[in-house]
């Protein structure tokens, strides 16, 4: 299992991501009413799905850098990879 501590920008970016699975939509809804920081507990399969979701939603500038509005998803993707 993995426990990730999300900042508000990470939470908002994840909430706005496209193609979220139902389990993530439900967990984000439960976390939304709680105070920061948001702690998201994930199984191995869920953490893999979360990283793929983040990667799928990150957009890049022509020079290869992450667009500023996608920096929170990039940071979350990195956090998942560092905690495997």
Mean pLDDT of the 6-35 span: 94
pLDDT at 33 > cutoff 90: no
Which of 34 and 22 is assigned the larger pLDDT? 22
Neighbours of 43 (CB within 10 A): 11
pLDDT at 24: 97
Give percent of the chain above pLDDT 90. Answer: 90
When pLDDT is cut at 50, 70 and 90, the band that residue 16 belongs to is very high
pLDDT at 36 > cutoff 90: no
- From CA 80, how far away is CA 83, in angstroms rounded? 5
């Amino acid at each position: 299992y993995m426990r990730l501590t999300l900042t508000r920008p990470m939470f908002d970016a994840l909430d706005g991501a496209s193609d979220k699975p139902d389990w993530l939509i439900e967990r984000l809804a439960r976390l939304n009413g709680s105070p920061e920081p948001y702690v998201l507990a994930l199984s191995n399969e869920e953490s893999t799905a979360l990283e793929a979701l983040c990667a799928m939603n990150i957009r890049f500038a022509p020079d290869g850098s992450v667009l500023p509005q996608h920096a929170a998803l990039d940071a979350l993707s990195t956090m998942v990879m560092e905690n495997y």
